[in-house]
Amino acid sequence: MQATLPFPAERPLPYVKYSGEPEFSADRHLDLGQPKKILSLKDLGYSDNQIANCPSIFGVSSAFKILSDEGLAIMREICLKMYDNRNESVGTGINRLGSYCRGAGYRSSFIRSFCDSPELAEHLSKIADVTLARHSVPAVACGVNYAPEDIRNAVDTWHTDSVAFDIVMMLSDPGKIEGGEFQYFHGTKEEGQDILGISGEEGKDVELPTERVTTIPFPAAGYGFLQQGNMIFHRACRLHKKAERMTMIPSFVVTPETANDATNSVNMAGWDDPGITAELTRHEAWRASARLKQLVENVSLHDDDSKLVNDIDKALGSLMAFRNRIKEKSK
Ligand SMILES: [Fe+2]
């Protein structure tokens, strides 16, 4: 059985496919280190109940080495080239991300293989203490963020992610960047959202109390950190001076496919990346079909109707919520 969905055979039409890239090799291009520090969801103030609903108590780590020097040089060159084919900054991009490439794996086979690397997934699984696999939604499996053209804007405002686990990997020399710090709120997302007066995953470019904000330092390019991104309230600050600031944000799903899935397809259905709703349909259908299969195996002739209704709802709930969202959107 595959740990995650294969990438689709098709490619969204606006995305340019690059050729002539080196082949990704985990031996040569990865140099996986260990984080020196890990903060749990408990450390951030989450209750036992909230933690029980998460796949792991892991919260956020310090940055650790991910790419070898050779891997970094190749990755940086591809991401510089891909800037010209970045996504249109509309949809959620209007209020949050300045400049980005979603679905970078459609453009670059090197990036695709890096994000798909079992060695990387295995390493991150050990850190997070849960089994992770490359995210089944290609838009978020391989994302790249750039600094906005107008540096008065934040690279990314306060928000939580629409996926449970992601790494934020610095590709530019942090020594040459003034500002642009990656920060997280030392508290629960609800507390952070309350202070800012926002809800959901919406971003907002305002300040939280500085004593509760932590900056994650990147020792060098090629380093990244792991977070349970839907539980960590975080942002990337504005630059003080125009500079290259590229980060790669590969996302991961929790496996097996019957595991609780925090992927927020209802929110992501509002993104306007080409092919995103079809990608989300694949994802939700994949997870729902695994839950239905489990239901077939577990249903008992002694189950009463209310249990059966509950089990059917559990199997189909997130697929149907997503279906209703795109139906509403298409009106
Ligand atoms: Fe984020």
Q: How far is the CA of 248 from the centre of ligand 1 (A)?
A: 11
Q: How far is the CA of 159 from the centre of ligand 1 (A)?
A: 6
Say if residue 80 is in the same domain as residue 218: yes
Task: Tell me what pLDDT residue 2 has.
Answer: 62
Going by C-alpha positions, the residue among 272, 208, 263, 260 that lies closest to residue 235 is 208
Instruction: State the chain's mean pLDDT as an integer.
Output: 93
Any domain includes 220 = yes
Tally of structural domains, the chain: 2
Say if residue 221 is in the same domain as residue 272: no
Q: How far is the CA of 23 from the centre of ligand 1 (A)?
A: 29
Q: How far is the CA of 9 from the centre of ligand 1 (A)?
A: 28
Any domain includes 278 = yes
Task: Tell me what pLDDT residue 91 has.
Answer: 45
Say if residue 175 is in the same domain as residue 304: no
Q: How far is the CA of 28 from the centre of ligand 1 (A)?
A: 28
Residue 302 reports pLDDT greater than 80:
yes
Q: How far is the CA of 84 from the centre of ligand 1 (A)?
A: 22
Among 199, 229, 256, the domain-final residue is 256
Token pair of 33, please?
């280190």
Say if residue 53 is in the same domain as residue 201: yes
Any domain includes 8 = no
Structural domain containing residue 186:
26-256
Task: Tell me what pLDDT residue 330 has.
Answer: 84
Separation between Cα atoms, residue 311 and residue 322, nearest integer Å: 18
Say if residue 275 is in the same domain as residue 143: no
Residue 92 reports pLDDT greater than 70:
no
Task: Tell me what pLDDT residue 153 has.
Answer: 84
Say if residue 131 is in the same domain as residue 272: no
Q: What is the pTM of this model?
A: 0.94
Going by C-alpha positions, the residue among 27, 34, 18 that lies closest to residue 70 is 27
Any domain includes 14 = no
Separation between Cα atoms, residue 308 and residue 320, nearest integer Å: 17
Question: Which residues sit opposite 127 in a β-bridge?
Answer: none
Any domain includes 1 = no
Write the pLDDT tens digit of every residue in 194-247: 998 887 767 666 788 999 999 999 999 999 999 999 999 999 999 999 999 999
Q: How far is the CA of 156 from the centre of ligand 1 (A)?
A: 8
Separation between Cα atoms, residue 106 and residue 119, nearest integer Å: 21
Look-up: residue for tokens 């994802």?
A: 283
Q: What are the residue ranges of helices labelled H in 39-108?
A: 48-52, 69-82, 104-107
Residue 59 host element (H or E): strand 58-61
Among 229, 256, 283, the domain-final residue is 256
Say if residue 106 is in the same domain as residue 176: yes
Write the pLDDT tens digit of every residue in 183-194: 999 999 999 999
Residue 313 reports pLDDT greater than 80:
yes
Q: How far is the CA of 251 from the centre of ligand 1 (A)?
A: 10
Q: What is the separation, in whole angstroms, between the first and last Cα of the chain?
A: 38
Pick from 11-25, 85-99, 120-134: least confident = 85-99
Task: Tell me what pLDDT residue 94 has.
Answer: 46
Any domain includes 9 = no
The pLDDT confidence band at residue 89, using thresholds 50, 70 and 90, is low
Say if residue 163 is in the same domain as residue 271: no
Among 223, 256, 289, the domain-final residue is 256
Token pair of 173, please?
């020399």
Q: How far is the CA of 235 from the centre of ligand 1 (A)?
A: 7
- Ion ligand 1 residues within 5 Å by Cβ: 161
Radius of gyration of the chain (CA): 20
Q: How far is the CA of 161 from the centre of ligand 1 (A)?
A: 5
| Amino acid at site 78 | I
Q: How far is the CA of 87 from the centre of ligand 1 (A)?
A: 17
Residue 76 reports pLDDT greater than 60:
yes
Q: How far is the CA of 203 from the centre of ligand 1 (A)?
A: 10
Question: How many CA atoms, within 13 angstroms, populate the side-chain half-sphere of residue 117?
Answer: 24
Going by C-alpha positions, the residue among 210, 214, 276, 286 that lies closest to residue 253 is 286
Residue 61 reports pLDDT greater than 70:
yes
Q: How far is the CA of 310 from the centre of ligand 1 (A)?
A: 33
Q: How far is the CA of 326 from the centre of ligand 1 (A)?
A: 23
Say if residue 274 is in the same domain as residue 173: no
| Amino acid at site 131 | T
Say if residue 60 is in the same domain as residue 116: yes
Q: How far is the CA of 160 from the centre of ligand 1 (A)?
A: 6
Residue 110 host element (H or E): helix 109-115
Q: How far is the CA of 201 from the centre of ligand 1 (A)?
A: 9
Any domain includes 4 = no
Question: How many CA atoms, within 13 angstroms, populate the side-chain half-sphere of residue 62?
Answer: 10
Say if residue 248 is in the same domain as residue 279: no
Residue 300 reports pLDDT greater than 90:
yes
Say if residue 195 is in the same domain as residue 313: no
The pLDDT confidence band at residue 272, using thresholds 50, 70 and 90, is confident
Separation between Cα atoms, residue 238 and residue 229, nearest integer Å: 20
Any domain includes 53 = yes
What CATH number corresponds to the domain at position 195?
2.60.120.620
Q: How far is the CA of 301 from the centre of ligand 1 (A)?
A: 45
